[in-house]
Structure 1
Amino acid sequence: MDEPRLNGVKPRHAALAVLVATIWGVNFVAIELGLRDFPPLLFSGLRFLAAAVPALFLVGPPRVAWRWVVAVGLVLGVAKFGFVFSGMHAGMPAGLSSLVLQSQAVFTVVFAAVLLRERPRRTQLVGIGVASAGILVIALDYGVGSPLGAFLLVIAGAACWGLSNVITRHAKPPDALSFIVWVSAVAVLPLFALSLLIEGPSADLAALRGFDWSGAAALGFVAWVSTLLGFGLWGFLLREYDASTVAPFSLLVPVAGMLSAWVFLGEELTVLRCTAGLLVVAGMASTAIKPRDRVPVLT
């Protein structure tokens, strides 16, 4: 007898998808904790170093042109995570960061229209409007008495994520996990160089000298649990089902992010922020360009 399914997904696989979304949501709490021990660019570089070095010996070559690996490594690995980590370090709360970052779906539609000449559907335009309204509500709520620059840095990270999605769609890597591992490797040296230039060698050296168990736990979670385990499980699900079946589970990421930040960091969950979150998630759900080509999230 065939195993019962929930909307076409086996229950144990649905549980795996929920687990991955939860891991990626809690990942923002781990980032917040890690930023207490490391400067943001150094922490981002260490994250990719820890994710890439063991995995490079276990995966094959990316099987796409190296220019696409380098492009995604710079746009996604360096720019996106550099902006996001810096924005969170500047004061953007972990829970709101997990939500605002999902505006990448809006930027993906915009960049695809400009660069790939993909005409947005009416539902996509409506979704952009709804999600943008939610982001505006968050900006107005957060901007009162808070550093608006931190919010804008996370928005810039979302824009870079959207651009990297379009580049990845064009590259069409046959092995997503191998591709991301090599992308991670590309990001390491530029992030370390930027850290030395912007954050300074003294700050980097002080952070490395003060390396302790809390920093190691945060680094281990974002590198191995969130990146390697999370992406590996997501890749398994995408091999078992159409992406249009798996992708909706990623909508749980900001939910898990905001709830875990509330539980572990004491971040406030107001009615206004929850309403804005619903607007962003609803709009994001309408903006997938082509569900079968949905690029798995890397947080």
Structure 2
Amino acid sequence: MTLDRLAPAIFVLLWSTGWVIAKYAGIYADPLTFLVLRYLLATLLFVGFCFATGATWPKTWAAAGHAVISGIFLHGLYLGAVWWAIGQGVPAAISGIIAGLQPLMTAAVAPVLIGENLSGQQKLGLGLGFLGIALAVVPKVMAIDTGATPIHLFPIVINVLGMAAVTYGTIYQKRHLQHEDIRSTAMLQYVGALAVTLPAAFFLEDMRVVWSVQLFAALGWAVLGLSMGAIALLLYLIRRGQVSRAASLIYLVPPLAALQAWLFFDEALTLPMIVGTAIAVAGVYLTNRKTAPSTHEKRRVEPAAIRPIDA
């Protein structure tokens, strides 16, 4: 089996591990403090990667600023909210399901922000998506499930606000960074993320770090596997014209995250979670389903057409 066939599936599998890493890393460091270490290492590695591969740098300060601002929303505010929520007891599976609805929120605000009209199919998808998340999350918050441990509502709200941040960041990137080099853009985005996460960690946490092999393993996976490896795969997919195949598999991220949380942390897979996830995935699919593009359109797929969000 060739890399062309495997790459989309590997790419999606990498993204789905983000929520499990968030929970695992919380054992050895405060969540925001861990993200500071992750962003710092990712920035340094991307600088070397950009110079080694001859990346094109933004031609104006305004373009560089757009990259930094998008990073504040896409990584700093979004991942900060998600990791903090998981640190406050939100199960990784539930957080993954909430994050999986980001395309629905983007579609919901698109008519207001960029003038896109929703079709009847997309409206149905939006309804199903939010129904699915309600079925999956509400029983956990209210401890309706048999033997369930209740989750405080405030961390759930923060998790949802994080999704709102990444939704705005995605739209902002599509507006201002369509034609910039994705390698230098990624580096500047981590600079933006670091700029907001470092002061947040200083004021909100004790900045606890347990220096250990386990911590470095978590950092290695978060930086090399997610921040670097997945981006490298994305570049490969764009070059090989396989982006649409990866996009079609993004719907598998929430159930994959839930399955990994069950395997590694024994998080319960309750019936409401399973049914809610299935309904939410169907809603995301309907909302983002498009008619098959022409051959000419397929050749013009842009990097911003797929911006998967990791944790």
Shift of 1:61: 4.6
Aligned CA distance change for structure 1 residues 62 and 289 (closer, same or farther; 3 Å)? farther
In structure 2, what is the equivalent of residue 4 of structure 1? none
The 5 Å alignment of 1:267-278 reads 267-278=267-278
SS at match of 1:58: helix
In structure 1, what is the equivalent of residue 216 of structure 2? 216
Query: Residue 85 of structure 1 is aligned with which of 83, 86, 100?
Result: 83
Shift of 1:11: 5.4
In structure 2, what is the equivalent of residue 177 of structure 1? 183
SS at match of 1:117: coil
Is residue 198 of structure 1 aligned with residue 204 of structure 2? yes
8 Å CA contact retained: 1:227, 1:298? no
In structure 1, what is the equivalent of residue 308 of structure 2? 297
Structure 2: gaps (5+ residues):
143-149, 294-300
Is residue 261 of structure 1 aligned with residue 261 of structure 2? yes
Deviations 1:50-91 (A, max 9, x none): 211111122135537123112212111211111111111111
- How far apart are the structure 2 equivalents of 1:36 and 1:61? 39
In structure 2, what is the equivalent of residue 157 of structure 1? 162
Query: Residue 22 of structure 1 is aligned with which of 13, 18, 27?
Result: 13
Structure 1: gaps (5+ residues):
1-9
8 Å CA contact retained: 1:107, 1:163? no
Query: Residue 167 of structure 1 is aligned with which of 162, 168, 172?
Result: 172
In structure 1, what is the equivalent of residue 23 of structure 2? 32
In structure 2, what is the equivalent of residue 6 of structure 1? none
8 Å CA contact retained: 2:85, 2:156? yes
- How far apart are the structure 2 equivalents of 1:278 and 1:51? 34
SS at match of 1:286: helix
Aligned-CA RMSD value: 2.0
Normalising to structure 2: TM-score of the pair? 0.85
- How far apart are the structure 2 equivalents of 1:258 and 1:166? 27
In structure 1, what is the equivalent of residue 296 of structure 2? none
Shift of 1:165: 1.0
Query: Residue 108 of structure 2 is aligned with which of 107, 110, 115?
Result: 110
Aligned CA distance change for structure 1 residues 225 and 159 (closer, same or farther; 3 Å)? same
- How far apart are the structure 2 equivalents of 1:176 and 1:138? 35
Normalising to structure 1: TM-score of the pair? 0.88
Aligned CA distance change for structure 1 residues 49 and 173 (closer, same or farther; 3 Å)? farther
Query: Residue 41 of structure 2 is aligned with which of 43, 50, 70?
Result: 50
After alignment, is 145-154 or 257-266 more displaced?
Answer: 145-154
User: How many residues were matched structurally?
Assistant: 284
- How far apart are the structure 2 equivalents of 1:226 and 1:129? 31
8 Å CA contact retained: 2:69, 2:192? no
8 Å CA contact retained: 1:75, 1:164? yes
In structure 1, what is the equivalent of residue 124 of structure 2? 126
- How far apart are the structure 2 equivalents of 1:181 and 1:286? 33
In structure 2, what is the equivalent of residue 63 of structure 1? 58
- Letter of the 1:182 counterpart: L
- Letter of the 1:255 counterpart: P
- Letter of the 2:12 counterpart: A
Task: Tell me the percent identity.
Answer: 22
Shift of 1:176: 2.4
SS at match of 2:136: helix
- How far apart are the structure 2 equivalents of 1:142 and 1:11? 42
Query: Residue 146 of structure 1 is aligned with which of 129, 134, 151?
Result: 151
